[in-house]
Amino acid sequence: MAGWSRRGLKRLIAVGCCLVLAMALMAGASAAGDGRRPSIDITRTSLRVLQMNLCNSGIAGCYTGRSVAEAAAVIRAERPDVITLNEVCAEDVSVLDRALSDAYRGGTVVSAFEAAVDRRTGDAVRCRNGQRFGDGLLVRVRQPYRGYTTHGAAYSAQDTADPEERVWLCLHAIDGFYACTTHLASTSPTVALRQCRYLLGTAIPALRTHDGSGPVVLGADLNLTSGRTPDARSCVPAGFVRTDDGARQHIVASADFTVTSSRSINMHGTTDHPGLLADLSTIT
């Protein structure tokens, strides 16, 4: 009888181990089967940033009328956390907001838009369709959602030969981070450098003092390149990290991050710039 009890106990233990293993495998299959990136918030260890210049005013020679649809496809495929947009019309931001929400099947996505200023009229620069023209931001905000603020303005330094006055835009996800974008002067590298130094050296530090400290991510068409004069790297604060598309688009982040990877994305001729995608990791 004692021998049989020991054998029965061994069988019971073996069955129990098999059940535990089966449950673990099923849980793993369920997590992997979704095929999506895990839902993460700004306490996350990574942040995916997508910078795009869509040339969608309808006026510039690079306009095709197809860049927003292409951008939406890229968003659904790459599923970024932050999207920074240059040369867009106001309603383009709404269209791409829906694309980002669709990519994550819900969640909290917030957006902002800042119109460039027409020096001749003092009003917003207008797209061919009459909408305001400028820069936009889309951000997937951490949970629990605590709201956000937006800040933006025209630079005091402008190229007076260009009727378009350039602007900057930042969105602060409260208790989270700052996402910023800008499209600097295209007609004067000297003015572009002054604008870049003001944004990274004055405007953003002032926001962090007023609204609270937090990590910073900037995606932008700086109209400055690295390794040429003036050099885009000369306006990046010490300790910040950066990457670029080999030309004028850059992603810059505060010392809270490291750049783990970056690559250009083919926009298939719908605009005159590639997309720039970077994965950032937080330093803990």
Crossing angle of the two packed helices 67-78 and 90-103, in degrees rounded to 10: 30
What are the two backbone dihedrals, phi and then psi, of residue 42, each rounded to the nearest 5 degrees?
Answer: -80, 0
- Exposed, middle or buried: residue 132 (CB in 10 Å: 0-12, 13-18, 19+)? middle
Structure tokens at 258: 């490291």
106/36: higher pLDDT: 106
Q: Which of 147, 148, 141, 150 shows the shortest CA–CA distance to 115?
A: 150
Q: What is the pTM (predicted TM-score) of this model?
A: 0.84
pLDDT band at 43 (very low <50, low <70, confident <90, very high): very low
Distance CA 133, CA 60 (A): 12
pLDDT at 34 over 70: no
Give 82-134 pLDDT, tens digit per residue.
999 999 999 999 999 999 999 998 679 999 999 999 999 999 999 999 999 99
CATH topology (fold) of 46-282 = Deoxyribonuclease I; Chain A (3.60.10)
Domain boundaries defined on the chain: 1-35, 46-282
- How much is the pLDDT for 17? 40
pLDDT at 2 over 70: no
